[in-house]
Structure 1
Amino acid sequence: MLAACYIRVSTDEQAEQGISIPAQKSRLLSYCQARGWEVYGFYVDDGYSGKDLDRPAMQRLIEDAAAKKFNTALVLKLDRLSRRQKDVLYLLEEIFEPGGVGFKSVTESFDTTTPFGKAALGMMAVFAQLERETIVERVRMAKNESARQGRFMGGPAPFGYRYNFGAKKLEIDEIQAQEIRWIYDRYLSGKLGYGYIAGELERKGVPGPTDERWNKTSVRKILTNPAYAGLVNHKGSVYQGKHEAIISPEKWREVQVLIKSKGAVRAAAGVHTGLLSGIIWCGECGARMRVKNVWQNYPRLSPKKVTKYYVCYSQDKTGSSHMVRDPDCRCGYKHADEIENEVIQQLYIYSYDKVLLRQAVNESLAAAGDKRSFIRGINQARKDFNSVEKKLEKWCDAFEKGALEPDELVERVKELKERKAYLHNHIIEMENRLKEENERKINTEELLEILQNFTRIWENATADERREIVINTIKEVRIYTDNRIEVEFNL
C-alpha cells in the first residue's frame, strides 16, 4: 500500500501538544510502519487554516490523487484535511473515490478501504445533505419572518420609493410619489383605464419605472401593489410594513374593489355570447344551458330578425353529447333578454337589502373556520420543527466527537429526518389553509362592497364589465319549465 501523508497546522495550533508538524509526521510514519505501508510522500501545509481547500500542499495532494500516484491518503485527524464537512465530502467523493484512492484517519474510524469506512462516508453524506436542507429551510423561514416584521423583501425599490441601505428600509421619493397619487386619483375617477393613464404619463414626459416607457402593465402593477399603502406582500400574504405609505390603505382598498368590479382581477375565460353563459343551468335535468340565436324570418335578410334564447343542452342536441343529462328533457327555449333582465332585477333587490347582505357575509365568514386555531397550529409546528433541528445538530456533534456509534446515529437521523419532513409539509399545508381563509375573508368583504355600490357601478359599466360583475357576484342561475328562476349568490 502506497500512502500519501497529509499534515496541516494553523498558526494558532503551533504550540498545541500532538498537533505540531513533527508530532503529526512521527505518528503517521509509525502508523505506516505498523501496517507495512510504504510512504509515497509528506504533504505539509504549515500555518494554514482548515476553513477551505486553498492550500499549496492540499492542491498538490489533489493533483497527485487524480494522477493515481498513491493508493491511500492518510491523516492524523479528520479536521487536518478540513474543518468543513462539505470540503471533506468533496475530497472523498469527487477526488479520492473516483481515482480509487482510499482514505484513513489514524485517530478516528474513517477508513474507506474497508466496508465499514465506506458506510461512515455515507453517513457523512447524510449530514452534508442535512446541512444543505437546513440552510435552505432557515433562509425560507428568515424571509417569512422578515415579511411578518414588515421589512422590505429586496429587489428594486417600487416606483415612488428609494431604499435607504443605512436604515434598511424604503423611503418615499416625493417627486415620484406625486405621480403615484395622481395615478390612483385618475383611476378612481372611474372613467380611465390603464392604457389611457399610461398615455397621459408619456405625454407628460414622466420617466417610467426603471426608465422604461409607461404601458398598461406598469400602471396596473402600481395600482395593485400593496406597498403604496404601507404594506408588505410576501408569497400571497400581506403584512403591515415598516415603511411610510404613499396613499392611505382605504384608498388602496377602494381601488382594488374598482379593479375587481371592472373584471381586471378575474377576467372571463374565452368570449361569451350571453350575460349568464357558464353559470346558467337547467333546473329540470341539471344540464348546462347555452345561448342559441334563432333566425326568426329566415330566409329574409332585410330586415333580418334574430332572437337569442337560452336552451338546455339535453333538449338542444346540436351541442356536445357529453353535456346531455336527460334526452327527454323539455325545459323549453327561454328568451335570453327576459331571463337576463330578471336576474339583474334580483341583483338590484339583493344589493338593496343591507340586513340580508350582512347576514350572508357573517355566515360566509363563520364558515371560514377559526383563524386563531390555524395560527396556534402553525406556531406549534414551527416550535417542534426547531426542536428537531436542534436534536439533529446535537447527534451530528456527538458523532463527530466519537460519542455515538455509527449504527445508532443512522437510526436516530432517520427518525428525526422523517419527523422533520412531516412537520415541514404540515407547516406548508397549514399556511396554505390560513392563506385560503384570509383570501376568502378578503373576497367576501370586497364582494359586499361591490354589492353595496351596485347601482352606481352597474349603470357605468360596459357590457364586458357587466358580465364580470355577474360572474363575480352570482354562483349559478337555474331555469325551470314554468319559467321560474332561482339565483344563488356567491355570498
Structure 2
Amino acid sequence: MSRIALYIRLSVEDQIKNKESESIISQRMYLNDYIDNMVDLKHQERKEYIDDGYSGTNENRPSYQRLLEDVKTGQVNTIVVKDMSRFMRDYISLGDYLENIFPFLGVRFISINDGYDSNENQGNGTDLDIQFKNLMYDFYAKDASEKIKTVRKALNEQGKIQSWSPPYGYMKDPEDKHKIIPDEETSWVVKKIYDLYLEGLSMRKINDYLNEHKMKTPAQRKLELTKMDYSNRYKKIKDKPAWNFSSVIDILNDEIYTGTYVYSRIDKSLINGTEKNAKPIPKKDWGRVFDNHEPIVSKEIYDEVQKLKASKSFKGKNTTYEWYKHSPLQGFLYCPECGYLLACQRTAKKRKGKPDKIHRYFRCRYCKNDGVKIKGSNADKLEPLVFEEIKEKCDVSNKVEIIEKKAVNNKDIIKDIEIRKQTYYEKYKLGEITRLKFIEEKKKLDDKIEVLIKEQSKVIKEKEKINEEKLTRELMDKYIKSIVVRGNEILKIEWK
C-alpha cells in the first residue's frame, strides 16, 4: 500500500542551536499541519523517516536509505519535506531526483518552504529559482563545517558545555544551559563507584553491586531529565533497566567528575560525519578547562583510581604472557564500538585421527560483558589483510615512489574533470548550452575518467611486493600503532 513519507532530518548545526527533541517535534508538527490542510493528502497513511544528527551532504543516512528502498518497492508515492536542504544538499544529485528519478517512479515530491510540488511545478523542479536555491544549499553545506567548528572551539575554550545531555551524576544548570551542576539524585552514586573501586572491588563486581542495590541507571536518569528514552540501547535484567559494565568504566575514566571540562577528543567531519571520517585525537592533545564546574570527586581520588587501574590493566604488548604468542596482531586491534583493546582467544576442535584444529579469533571483552552483539575477528583472515596493507604502505623503492606520484596525479585529474562536468551542468541549466551539447561533453569527460580509473588499476598491480612472508611481530612493531576492526574488516590503521 502506498503512503506519504514525512522525511525529517536533524543536522549537526541544529543540535548546536536547539534541543534535539524540539527540532524533530517542530518538523513533525510542521509537516503534519501541512498535510492536514491538503484535501487530496490528509486521509492517506503517513510514515516518518527520521535521521538524527546527519548532514544533508551525507547520503549514508539510515532513514534516507530506507526511504529510497521503500520508494523503489512502491510503498511510498509522496514525499514531504520542510525544505529541499533537509532531503539533500548536493544540488546536482537533487536535480537528478526531481527531474528524472521521481517522475519515472511516479513519486510526488513536496518541499513546503520552497513552495514546490512536483504535481504543480513545470519542469520537474529544474526552474532557475529552485536550482539557485539548491546551489546555495550546496555552497552552504561546504562552508558550514568549518564555521561550526570555529564556533564550537570558541565555546569549548570558554568552558561552555554544548552537549544537550550531561554525563551521569550531573544535570544542566537551570540558570545557564552551558553549565552543569551535581545532580543530587545520582552524584552520590558516582562517589560510591569510586569508593568501591578504591576498596578493592573490580569493575565487574561494582556493576553487580549497582544492579543488586537497584541504583538508578544512566538511561533511567536521562529519561527523567531529558524525556529521551534510551533504555532500548542497554541490557535489562528481568525486563528492568540494568547497569552496563561499560558505564562503570566510563565513569571511572572521565575527568569531568574532577571539575575539568574535556573536549576535542575526536576530530569528526560535520559535512560527512561517517565513522571512517572520525579521527581519535591523542589524549595529550585533548582540550581541557580546569575548575570549570563543581567536582563530584577530588583530583587526588581520581588520580589514585587511575594508578590503581593502570596496575591492573590488560598488558597488551607484554611478551612474557603466553597468549601474546597467539597472534602478531595481539595488542594492536581495537573495538569500533567501545574503543578497547581486543583479546585473542584460541579454541581447539577435536578431529578423529588428526591433530586438533586451532581457531584463533579476537573479541571485545567489554562489549561481551555488556551483552553487546559484535562480530569476532578471525586471526587467520585478518593477518594476511594487515600484511598486504603493510606491503602497500611501506614499500619505498624508487619505482613505487614514481607509481605513487602517478596515482596522486591521476586522482587530481579526475577531480578536475568532475569540476568541469559540474560547470557544463550549470551552463545547461542556465540555458547557455543545449541539452544535447551537455550530454556530448559529459560523455567525453566520463570516457576520460574511465580511462584514468583503468590506469589506476594498473598502477596498483605494478607495485613491487616485498618478498613473500607471513605477518610478524617485528613488522607490527615497526609500522603499526593501532588498528580498528569490525569482524574481518579493517576500518582504520594508525601508522607509526
TM-score of the superposition, structure 2-length normalised? 0.31
Which has more helix, going by share of residues? 1
- Max Rg structure: 1
TM-score of the superposition, structure 1-length normalised? 0.32
